[in-house]
């Protein structure tokens, strides 16, 4: 077992962490710890095996006691659920699967009562093919201009209009059929065929999303996570790419359907809209850009407040690469006066406990990485279950999988269900406390001992490590918001940096390493050993120090 060090008081389950010290600039989002809830898999309030808004509301005390500042909810809007709710048929309605509009209102009010802010997903790149606009478009209505319809290539239009590929695999185009059964034009969908892309050149599209944002802001939400924030604008003429396996190019190369300069005008208009509301409402970009410099464009002073740092998420357990990514990320965001964000896992990638090697090695590294991430300047995102040390579920039967990529070739790996398995709350029950009616994806039996109940109050558990780390981060003046760190000399394989009155040391080696103790220990992911003025850092561990 690992051990917490120092005199930090750890909040217990069901308690509310102390309020964060006021930021002199009033910008709560510059230092915030934001907890991602995948709505289907957090808590089931009605016993149907699927997570919902009522279940989330009832479990909010866990998040308040954990010490986070805000919760981000994945889509809960009306949807045929072709892609886990990211295919929206009505942006102003709650899908009955997740509750009703009153449940959303109750959740926001309860979160605010507990001192938590609420960020909701908005999906502007595409709608569902069941959205009223698209149904009218297929029938020849004026809404056809709101989407990308094009005639096909070839003698009879039998080939797609260009060579773009869906992120989920296969062509990014599907051909329509006329009422008489003859083939018609093709429509663009960068994701599933059930997710037709909107054409943001049409003013009606922009006006509608302004109205949607105002609807939820008026209900009281504190901001939006913007899905595919890099995708709404396509290069003029929709030019061919001339290469296959385009999904592997995302975030690494310039593509005509992602990260076009035109998206920034949209984000500037949304920033003006957000600034028109009180309470510091924010916009967060899910933006895949080919460089930190391109990503920084999304968080210029007149654009969005934050952008996800996927470069850090994709970084291997390698000290040189981790330092390079941290330095580049901090430099890029500092150049535009924005905070850097740090994230290790989310609902689209394998959990980092597994990515870092799995088993006890992966867990050690995951715990160390969490402390490293929480020590860096800026804002942090925690994915549900990460605070429990949950691994990826790798052995789900094919018949239970629901990731649309799983059923298509040459796109994403198709195994996102493994990080979406409902989280365990108790040691017993049909779904380990997730709900009274089982869970929509099967949970491993060993998760009983990883549950909130099993870890609460257990010294050295991953849950208590996160609680302690967030408490220290909240109170220590050298942690949270900031623009840079001072790197310190350290043995090979060790990352060491200083902030105001604080030092972080991360040993990425698989063996212990000795170095001079830089100060008084505050917290550690594994127990260090002291001898005179030196400290032995355990393999794959992080220690926080007060200096």
Instruction: Kindly list the catalytic residues.
Output: 227, 286
- Tell me the torsion sign for CA atoms 358, 360, 361, 365: positive
> How far apart are the C-alpha atoms of 361 and 32, rounded to whole Å?
29
**HEC secondary structure over 290-315:** CCHHHHHHHHCCCCCCEECCHHHHCC
Question: Angle, to 10 degrees, between the axis of helix 359-375 and the axis of helix 462-475?
Answer: 10
β-pairing, 282-285 with 306-307? parallel
Q: How many helices (H) and strands (E) does the chain have?
A: 12, 21
Say what the alpha-carbon torsion angle 461, 462, 463, 464 is, to the nearest 10 degrees.
50
- Distance between CA atoms of residues 290 and 310, nearest Å: 10
Give φ, ψ of 536 to 5 degrees: -100, 110
Q: Tell me if 234 sits within 8 A of 131, measured CB to CB.
A: no
Neighbours of 144 (CB within 10 A): 17
Q: Where are the alpha helices (DSSP H) in 379-439?
A: none
Which residues, at least 6 apart from 467, have a Cβ–Cβ distance to it below 8 Å? 10, 11, 12, 65, 66, 67, 387
Interacting residues of 446 by C-beta distance below 8 A, sequence separation 6+: none
């Amino acid at each position: 077992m690992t051990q917490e060090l120092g005199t930090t008081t750890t909040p217990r389950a069901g308690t509310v962490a102390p309020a964060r010290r006021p930021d002199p600039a009033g910008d709560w989002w510059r230092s915030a710890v934001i907890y991602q809830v995948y709505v289907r898999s957090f808590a089931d309030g009605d016993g149907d095996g699927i997570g919902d808004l009522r279940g989330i509301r009832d479990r909010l005390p866990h998040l308040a006691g954990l010490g986070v500042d805000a919760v981000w909810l994945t889509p809960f809007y009306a949807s045929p659920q072709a892609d886990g709710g990211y295919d929206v048929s009505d942006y102003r309605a709650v899908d009955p699967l997740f509750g009703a509009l009153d449940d959303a209102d109750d959740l926001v009010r309860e979160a605010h009562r507990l001192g938590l802010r609420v960020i909701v997903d908005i999906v502007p790149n595409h709608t569902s093919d069941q959205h009223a606009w698209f149904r009218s478009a297929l029938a020849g209505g004026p809404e056809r201009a709101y989407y990308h319809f094009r005639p096909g290539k070839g003698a009879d239009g039998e080939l797609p209009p260009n060579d773009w590929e869906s992120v989920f695999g296969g062509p990014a185009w599907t051909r329509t059929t006329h009422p008489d059964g003859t083939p018609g034009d093709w429509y663009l969908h960068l994701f599933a065929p059930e997710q037709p892309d909107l054409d943001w050149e049409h003013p009606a599209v922009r006006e509608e999303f302004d109205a949607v944002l105002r609807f939820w802001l008026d209900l009281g939400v504190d901001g939006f996570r913007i899905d595919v924030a890099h995708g709404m604008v396509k290069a003029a003429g929709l030019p061919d790419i001339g290469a296959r396996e385009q999904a592997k190019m995302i975030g690494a190369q310039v593509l005509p359907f992602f990260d076009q300069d035109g998206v920034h005008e949209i984000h500037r208009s949304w920033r003006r809209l957000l600034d028109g509301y009180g309470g510091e409402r924010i916009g967060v970009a899910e933006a895949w850009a080919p460089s930190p410099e391109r990503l920084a464009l999304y968080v210029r002073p007149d654009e969005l407040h934050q952008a996800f740092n996927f470069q850090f998420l994709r970084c291997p357990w390698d000290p040189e690469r981790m330092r390079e990514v941290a330095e580049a990320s901090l430099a890029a965001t500092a150049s535009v006066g924005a905070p850097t964000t740090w994230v290790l896992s989310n609902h689209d990638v394998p959990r980092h406990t597994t990515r870092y090697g799995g088993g006890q090695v992966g867990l050690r590294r995951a715990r160390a990485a969490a402390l490293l991430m929480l020590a860096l300047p800026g804002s942090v995102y925690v994915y549900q279950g990460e605070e429990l040390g949950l691994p990826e579920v790798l052995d789900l039967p094919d018949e239970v999988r629901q990731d649309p990529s799983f059923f298509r070739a040459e796109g994403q790996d198709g195994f996102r269900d493994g990080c979406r398995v409902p989280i365990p709350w108790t040691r017993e029950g049909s779904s380990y406390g997730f709900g009274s009616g089982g869970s929509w994806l099967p949970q491993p039996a060993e998760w009983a001992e990883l549950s909130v109940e099993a870890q609460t109050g257990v010294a050295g558990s991953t849950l208590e490590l996160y609680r302690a780390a967030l408490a220290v981060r909240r109170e220590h003046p050298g942690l949270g918001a900031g623009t840079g760190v001072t790197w310190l000399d350290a043995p090979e394989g060790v990352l060491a940096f200083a902030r105001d009155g604080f030092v972080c040391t991360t040993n990425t080696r698989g063996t212990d390493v000795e170095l001079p103790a830089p100060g008084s220990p505050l917290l550690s992911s594994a127990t260090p050993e002291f001898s005179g003025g030196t400290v032995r850092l355990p393999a794959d561990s992080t220690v926080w120090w007060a200096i």
